A = this chain, B = another copy of it.
Amino acid sequence: MKPSAQPGVVYLVGAGPGDAGLLTLRALHLLQTADIILPDDLVSDEVLGLASPSALIIPVGKRCGQPRITQAGIHALMLEHTRAGRSVVRLKSGDPLVFGRAGEEIAALSEAAIPFEIVPGITSAFAAAARLKTPLTDRSSASKLIFATAHHAAPQPDRPAKLELTPKWEGAFPKDATLIVYMPGRHFRALADELIASGIAPATPCVAVSKATAPDERVHITTLGALDDEAVGPAPVLLLIGDAIQPI
């Protein structure tokens, strides 16, 4: 077993999708021995409940109407507490190195010469697929797995609000891939139309998972051609698209 959280060290830890059973042993050990915990908004109460009672938990989420904490503010907190000799767990939902601005935090820690360790986490796509009991790859139909994000482009005078992959997928989409879209926004129909225009067949299975692994998780099973803005539950939402996606 690796050591407990050490004074002056930052641990960039993946909290997984929410279900505390999907936390890693290393993550649990660090949560139980760290002085300071800096969780994102999406980290579940169930996971935070496993932290040491003596740990100081400072939420650093940037949404939901809380006072906004800037990325620089998060860096300042990590530096302040490690320089005071405390151990710090920076807790990110899912895996810390996937769609999580980890590069900026790594750069800040490196520049300040603060020692740090990174602990991977279960990304929500893997947890959602496990609950759906669907493979993500398939030897005959899906030899690639693509994670992408979408963003919501604000309406302009000459065009409505739209959603697209960031940036847009160039050229033909690979025929033998499963696509996972993280943070797909709310205009699912526009995104589906973009993907169909890139060559994904409208009949391709598409599953929208809202709040993966949470008690109020919602699953909407459809096809890309029939994906409907209204039928999907609240954020965070994940889209799983591809012929390999075959929920039981």
Instruction: Verify A24–B22 contact, CB threshold 8 A.
Output: yes
Question: Chain B's nearest CB lies how many Å from the CB of A226?
Answer: 24
Q: Which of B23, B106, B133, B137 contacts A24 (CB 8 A)?
A: B23
Q: Which of B119, B122, B149, B174 contacts A120 (CB 8 A)?
A: B122
Contacts of A28 in B (CB 8 A): 25
A239–B96 Cα gap in the complex (Å)? 19
What total of chain A residues lie within 8 Å of the partner, measured CB to CB?
64
**Chain B, Cβ-Cβ closest to A26:** B21
The answer, yes or no, to whether A134 is at the interface (CB within 8 Å) is yes
Instruction: Verify B135–A106 contact, CB threshold 8 A.
Output: yes
Q: Give the interface of A toward B (CB within 8 A).
A: 1-2, 14, 16, 19-26, 28-29, 95-103, 106, 110, 116, 118-123, 126-127, 129-131, 133-139, 143-149, 165-167, 169-172, 174-176, 244, 246, 248
Question: Chain B's nearest CB lies how many Å from the CB of A77?
Answer: 20
Contacts of A14 in B (CB 8 A): 126
Q: Which of B22, B134, B139, B149 contacts A97 (CB 8 A)?
A: B134
* Known A118-B133, A135-B106, A171-B171: A21·B22 in contact at CB below 8 Å: no
Instruction: Verify B21–A1 contact, CB threshold 8 A.
Output: yes
Q: Which of B103, B174, B246 contacts A138 (CB 8 A)?
A: B103
Question: Chain B's nearest CB lies how many Å from the CB of A140?
Answer: 9
**Chain B, Cβ-Cβ closest to A248:** B110
A19–B25 Cα gap in the complex (Å)? 10
**Chain B, Cβ-Cβ closest to A171:** B171
Residue among A22, A131, A165, A167 having the largest count of chain B Cβ atoms under 10 Å: A22
A191–B97 Cα gap in the complex (Å)? 25
Question: Could you jot down 15 A-B contacts, CB within 8 Å?
Answer: A20-B25, A21-B29, A24-B122, A96-B130, A97-B130, A98-B137, A100-B135, A100-B137, A101-B139, A106-B248, A118-B131, A119-B130, A120-B130, A123-B126, A145-B147
A2–B143 Cα gap in the complex (Å)? 33
A149–B121 Cα gap in the complex (Å)? 22
**Chain B, Cβ-Cβ closest to A106:** B133
Instruction: Verify A146–B146 contact, CB threshold 8 A.
Output: yes
